[in-house]
Amino acid sequence: MLRFLRVQAFALKATFDFKPHSNHQRENPVANQTTAAADAVLLTSYGKLHEQLRHDVPLLRNIEKTADHLTKGNTEAEFAINTKRNRGMGARNEMENLPTPGTQKYARATLELKNYYAGIAVSGQTFEQANTNATAFVDVVDREVSQAYKDTKIDINRMMYGDGSGTLATATTAATSATQEFDSLHWLQEDDILDIVDASALPTVTYIAQGVTVLSVDEDTNEVEFSSSVTLAIGDFVVRAGNYGGKEIEGIDLLIGTQTLHGIDPTTASVWKSYTKSSVGVLEQIDMIRAIQGASKNGGSPSRIFTDHESFNAYWDLFSDQRRYTDDNKLKGGQNVEMVFKANGANDIPITTDWDCPAGNMYFVDESELVLNQTGDLRWMNRDGSMWSRIPGKDGYEASLYYYGNLGTYRRNSHAKLSGISPLA
């Protein structure tokens, strides 16, 4: 049977392009796929499963992935940036002293790789079907394996829009209740297991609650129902359980900004910052033009705009008489409405909508200056010769996905960001 499993694992292993600790310990038990639960997806009982979930990952799909800059046993990435020009130049009269020679100024950017994991578990009873009904067994296990890839890609795509803190939503009211209101629910889903952080206690990390489960999400009211009552103040925020403390991938909301990044402080390296404008309000053409100009001032050239759907709608309405469409930048998954923006003599810049993009944001990205530093693609642990391990004390088996990587930028001033864009009325 193990030989059969290895063949299945090998066949499925090549489905993604994206490694975890052999000593990794789960903080929360993995939900087991038992034979009872598996009945819903058994090929012999119900036929083809009809997909109901979104799997498109536009930002992740468009970023270069490399291991070229890894150092220190593949735990960090390093590269040099040019921060200042040689200013040893000037005009002189005949026989005057020549300008004092100058030099280029450099800084070294460093970033730590982040460790990411996902797990699946299958009961022994399901494994027993490998002996009596191989087709049904493969259908259940293949579904768990392939869906784990897809779910993980969605979560990595979500992190690539964040700031590395892991913040998913922030409380907008003070209340003691199992139902709480947040600023946005676009990163929250039913069955999420969350920790709630006390914002008033920072920088000391204090949890209001840990391991609470999301029972329901109401996007019309921005309310979440938790598995237990909690007392929140305005500004408290939720994170995926165990993720808080700089463990997540550093996304473009941090990379496109003005704070210290990759160990380089913009107050001492003034070119190491992006053009940003917050509290935009009603989107105007001049906002987008200035974002492009802000990047091009230092030689940057944004190649794609990533935005949320409501901000895209605001753009659609604003430029109703100037729309241009692209034929070669259509998205997978049925989406084929992709527009371009052109300003200040720049090339056409495709505008790509992404459900994971935070509401009210436009990220003007130079894709050639972003890189996902990684040791390798997402893959299954199989250092013991098989991707499956017996769950101690249980009649079941588990498998773990792992990934080591972090997002970085070679040239921060090549990007720009607009935030606080009002949705179309």
Q: Are 16 and 57 in contact (CB under 8 A)?
A: no
- Average pLDDT value for residue range 274-283: 94
Sequential DSSP letters for 276-335: EE---BS--HHHHHHHHHHHHTTT----EEEE-HHHHHHHHHHTTTS--B-SS-PPSTT-
Q: What is the pLDDT of residue 335?
A: 43
Is the predicted pLDDT of residue 30 greater than 60, yes or no?
Answer: no
Q: Which residues are CB-contacts of 323 (< 8 A; sequence separation ≥ 6)?
A: 316, 339
Provide the phi-psi class of 301: left if phi over 0, else alpha when psi is between -120 and 50, else beta.
Answer: beta
Is the predicted pLDDT of residue 18 greater than 60, yes or no?
Answer: no
Nearest to 67 by CA among 411, 412, 408, 304: 408
Q: Which range, of 100-104, 150-154, 282-286, averages the lowest pLDDT?
A: 100-104
CA distance 112 to 107: 17
Read off the pLDDT band of 340 (50, 70, 90).
confident
Is the predicted pLDDT of residue 210 greater than 90, yes or no?
Answer: yes
Q: Are 69 and 166 in contact (CB under 8 A)?
A: no
Q: What is the pLDDT of residue 40?
A: 52
CA distance 403 to 81: 27
Q: Are 404 and 115 in contact (CB under 8 A)?
A: yes
Q: What is the pLDDT of residue 333?
A: 41
Q: What is the pLDDT of residue 298?
A: 79
Q: What is the pLDDT of residue 366?
A: 92
Q: Which range, of 11-25, 98-112, 333-347, 349-363, averages the lowest pLDDT?
A: 11-25
- Average pLDDT value for residue range 183-190: 91
- Average pLDDT value for residue range 170-174: 96
Read off the pLDDT band of 338 (50, 70, 90).
low
Q: What is the pLDDT of residue 399?
A: 87
How would you list the strands of the sheet with 70-71, edge to edge? 70-71, 76-84, 105-112
Read off the pLDDT band of 169 (50, 70, 90).
very high
Q: What is the pLDDT of residue 51?
A: 55
- Average pLDDT value for residue range 21-29: 41
Q: Give the whole-number percent of the chain exceeding pLDDT 70.
A: 80
The single-letter DSSP state of residue 259 is: S
- Average pLDDT value for residue range 223-244: 96
pLDDT digits (tens, 9 = 90+) for 127-164: 777 667 767 777 777 778 888 888 888 999 999 999 99
Helix (H) or strand (E) holding 150: helix 134-159
The single-letter DSSP state of residue 151 is: H
Half-sphere exposure of 363 (CA within 13 A, CB side): 28
- Mean pLDDT (the chain) is 81
The single-letter DSSP state of residue 192 is: -
